[in-house]
Structure 1
Amino acid sequence: MTDFAIFWEWLSFAVRWTHVITAIAWIGSSFYFIALDLGLRKTPSLPPLAHGEEWQVHGGGFYHIQKYLVAPDFLPEHLTWFKWEAYFTWLSGFMLLVVVYYFGADLFLVDRHVLDIPSWGAILISLGSIVFGWLVYDALCKSPIGNSTTGLMVVLFGVLVAMSWAYTQVFTGRAAMLHMGAFTATIMAANVAGIIIPNQKIVVADLKAGRVPDAKYGKIAKQRSLHNNYLTLPVIFFMLSSHYPLAFATQWNWVIASLIFLCGVLIRHYFNTRHARKGNPHWTWALTVVIFILIAWLSTGPKLPTGAESIPSPQATLLMQSPHFEAASNAVIGRCSMCHTAEPVWEGVSEAPKNVILDNPISIANHAEQVAIQAGYSHAMPPGNVTDMTDEERAMIVAWFRESGT
């Protein structure tokens, strides 16, 4: 079973790698087309029905791009559809959620200090909240509120703030941040799969049948694409947040999550304005810096308990019965606890890395797999072996973990 733990770690790495690759492809194409759309120029030489054009240079060649709001009088046999990037980003992200948070629910998803629920209950809440997010968002877009771009954005921000708070009342701080990313990314991917691509297919079908496509389909798709554009940067923050306890493990983590949406909107507004050649709103950067300083200040508030220090999981209970546990635990406390504690004493370390506490036997047992992989099977921890962990101590950690049969 210990070999399975190593396999699972590599599976997590592979899924994470895939997720990053597909996200780069999706975000890259999204940013490119937003910039292209905003930078289109109207020229006297445009063909009938064309909305604008752009000349670009890249890779030693020149590109002449024209956009049609509905479609030209004819369509070529081959059309490139930009959709698979979004689909595989969501699928790989969901798989990562399953691999890390659902299979590791006792450690990463459930915090008994926040809400004492079984792992299966937390997983159901997770799945239900993601579906709930899309249903509420889609209903708002299709309601009369959806006719006002500004009004809709304000209401959506309210929904996101409410969800930021709600997630922190159910999950660990780390999982709460991650779920805000999943909640938002699901809306974005569903926009592509459920609205943007179907609307484009309706237009294509009308053209092939000799009908004049209704311009409303393009208008609706453009609104959803605009939302995706403004939501992208916050999603990236949430996906990175699990590495930074100051973002997820403080009392005001839900406020931090809410403010990140404002930062994302401000930054995208700057670039969208620049690409549309409507000026340089430098004030957006100034305001973003102010908000980010506020976020940093909020992160100095009271820290949240992780739940891993005092409540052993069923697996941890078995691990603590091992005859090697005392020696392994002493090695970890002696070599790791100066950083992995509520108040680190190692100079330059203000927070326990990833909010992992290793200053007591229960927490060490709860994090057994992480300890074994980071400090047993590999020499990743301590960093640079600054505390001089010996090979014998690493072997003891591996023996303890392997002996457990977990």
Structure 2
Amino acid sequence: MYDIAILWDWLAFAVRWLHVITAIAWIGSSFYFIALDLSLNRNIDGPADGEEWQVHGGGFYHIQKYLVAPAAMPEHLTWFKWESYATWLSGAAMLAVVYWLGAELYLIDPAKADLAIWQGIAISAASLAVGWVIYDQLCKSPLGNQPTTLMVLLFILLVAMSWGYDQVFTGRAALLHLGAFTATIMTANVFFIIMPNQRIVVADLKTGRTPDPKYGKIAKLRSTHNNYLTLPVIFLMLSNHYPLAFGTQYAWIIAALVFLMGVTIRHYFNSMHARKGKPTWTWAVTVILFILIAWLSTVPGYETYEEAEARALTPYEQRFAAADGFADAHQIVTGRCSMCHAREPVWDGMHWAPKGVFLETESDVAKYARQIYLQAGVSHAMPPANITDLPPEDRAKLVAWYRAGT
């Protein structure tokens, strides 16, 4: 039975690796085509909307863009879609492996909302679908012809979801879900809007009909939204590694400011690629926003020591607190790990607990039983370089305790 924890951790690692690889492919192609479209030379004669000469890898490339479609359908046409789909599917798998199967530890925060596991998972899954429906209806409304207003409403929607997630989930899960919420919108744009519209244009060309330019206009709007949402999504996906981003009561505001930073950064590069100058003021705004985020991150939002002591244990925590060897495990962990993993670390130079993991109270140790088992029992990852001299016999006790609890 104990091998499940090791297999589960490696599965999470494998899915995360796949997610990163596919995300690089999707984001890379997205950034390239946005930059290409903006940098096209449109002062040319002929049916093409623009062209560009590029050099890479020892070769020269001559690229032409047709606003609606070329006069005839080419025999070979490369579609860019699987990068997006694979990124979303691998991300959904990672969400299920880490946050659904590990809901008691990573997803649900009883101090915020006393949810059953199935309720937390249901909210997690349903919220992703609801977000797309709301966004899609906004785009299909008359607001679709008012891009700036639409972007402002999209920002309001994202802020509202950021606050909502923070009310029911752990800080870590809240930011991760906001990233998944946004990524779902982006992939759904590709699957439900951009690709079907391109297929209509291709079908028209094959039958000799003149394609309607409205399909390209609609796809361009959604593609532009994806362009501005990419950088915030990357930040939110990385946030689970940085407790300063999620371990505060203002985590939802931090997420909102990150979306603004995404806009300022992309505006600079989009302007540069379009040869409209280099608006360096965007970097000043970005730095100010980042400083504000760093300041907000210092306001704690985690459970105090006294609250952790007084709080009733969850069923997951009760299982490991009642397991044979818990008293020894608690003594080992508080003696070898809590100087860093504390609400107020006493290790010299340490100001915040690594990964936001606290190992002081009995509920703390029971809550992080699996991590203790993997990090300090099965492997020797913790303490780093065994700086607190955790002996092999104590590691064996931690392993025995965890296995007794499973």
Category of TM-score, reference length = shorter chain: over 0.9
TM-superposed deviation, 1:403: 2.5
CA-to-aligned-CA distance 1:143-185 (integer Å, 9 cap, x gap): 1112111111111111111111111111111110001100000
Partner SS, residue 63 of structure 2:
strand
**Equivalent pair of 2:324/2:404 in contact (CA under 8 Å):** no
Alignment-derived partner of residue 299 in structure 2: 301
Q: Distance in 1 between matches of 2:267 and 2:312?
A: 46
Partner SS, residue 168 of structure 2:
coil
Structure 2 unmatched ranges of 5 or more: none
TM-superposed deviation, 1:71: 1.2
Alignment-derived partner of residue 25 in structure 2: 25
Alignment-derived partner of residue 386 in structure 1: 387
Q: Distance in 1 between matches of 2:75 and 2:313?
A: 62
CA-to-aligned-CA distance 1:233-256 (integer Å, 9 cap, x gap): 000010011111111110111110
**Equivalent pair of 2:201/2:215 in contact (CA under 8 Å):** yes
TM-superposed deviation, 1:77: 1.9
TM-superposed deviation, 1:302: 3.1
- 2:401 matched to 1:403? no
Q: Distance in 1 between matches of 2:314 and 2:265?
A: 43
TM-superposed deviation, 1:304: 2.4
Q: Distance in 2 between matches of 1:374 and 1:197?
A: 44
Q: Which runs of structure 2 are paired with 1:167-206 in the superposition (5 Å)?
A: 167-206=165-204
**Equivalent pair of 1:55/1:64 in contact (CA under 8 Å):** yes
Q: Distance in 1 between matches of 2:308 and 2:191?
A: 39
The one-letter amino acid paired with 1:265 is V
Q: Distance in 2 between matches of 1:128 and 1:308?
A: 31
Q: Which runs of structure 2 are paired with 1:313-328 in the superposition (5 Å)?
A: 313-328=314-329
Q: Distance in 2 between matches of 1:26 and 1:195?
A: 17
Q: Distance in 2 between matches of 1:250 and 1:97?
A: 22
Alignment-derived partner of residue 225 in structure 1: 223
Q: Which runs of structure 2 are paired with 1:7-406 in the superposition (5 Å)?
A: 7-44=7-44, 46=45, 48-305=46-303, 310-404=311-405, 406=406
**Equivalent pair of 1:308/1:357 in contact (CA under 8 Å):** no
Q: Distance in 2 between matches of 1:162 and 1:320?
A: 38
**Equivalent pair of 1:184/1:231 in contact (CA under 8 Å):** yes
Q: Distance in 2 between matches of 1:302 and 1:315?
A: 25
TM-superposed deviation, 1:74: 1.3
TM-superposed deviation, 1:214: 0.2
The one-letter amino acid paired with 2:333 is V
Q: Distance in 1 between matches of 2:223 and 2:302?
A: 37
**Equivalent pair of 1:107/1:308 in contact (CA under 8 Å):** no
TM-superposed deviation, 1:385: 1.5
Please report the TM-score for the alignment, with normalisation by the length of structure 2.
0.97
Aligned length: 403
Percent identity, aligned pairs only, is 65
The one-letter amino acid paired with 2:258 is I
Partner SS, residue 303 of structure 1:
coil
**Equivalent pair of 1:250/1:303 in contact (CA under 8 Å):** yes
- Quick check: 67-76 or 233-242, which moved more? 67-76
CA-to-aligned-CA distance 1:294-352 (integer Å, 9 cap, x gap): 11111121322298764433233222223311112211111111111111111222221
Please report the TM-score for the alignment, with normalisation by the length of structure 1.
0.97
**Equivalent pair of 1:50/1:69 in contact (CA under 8 Å):** yes
TM-superposed deviation, 1:191: 0.2
**Equivalent pair of 1:49/1:71 in contact (CA under 8 Å):** no
Q: Distance in 1 between matches of 2:308 and 2:74?
A: 59
CA-to-aligned-CA distance 1:41-64 (integer Å, 9 cap, x gap): 0244x5x42111111111111111
Q: Distance in 1 between matches of 2:334 and 2:145?
A: 59
Partner SS, residue 115 of structure 1:
coil
**Equivalent pair of 1:328/1:400 in contact (CA under 8 Å):** yes
**Equivalent pair of 2:254/2:296 in contact (CA under 8 Å):** yes
Q: Distance in 1 between matches of 2:377 and 2:81?
A: 42
Structure 1 unmatched ranges of 5 or more: none
CA-to-aligned-CA distance 1:364-402 (integer Å, 9 cap, x gap): 111111110011111111112111111111111111112
- Quick check: 198-207 or 307-316, which moved more? 307-316
**Equivalent pair of 1:267/1:284 in contact (CA under 8 Å):** yes
**Equivalent pair of 1:320/1:365 in contact (CA under 8 Å):** yes
Q: Distance in 2 between matches of 1:208 and 1:43?
A: 29
Q: Distance in 2 between matches of 1:12 and 1:322?
A: 26
The one-letter amino acid paired with 1:286 is A
Structure 1 pair 401/342, CA: closer, same or farther in 2 (3 Å)? same
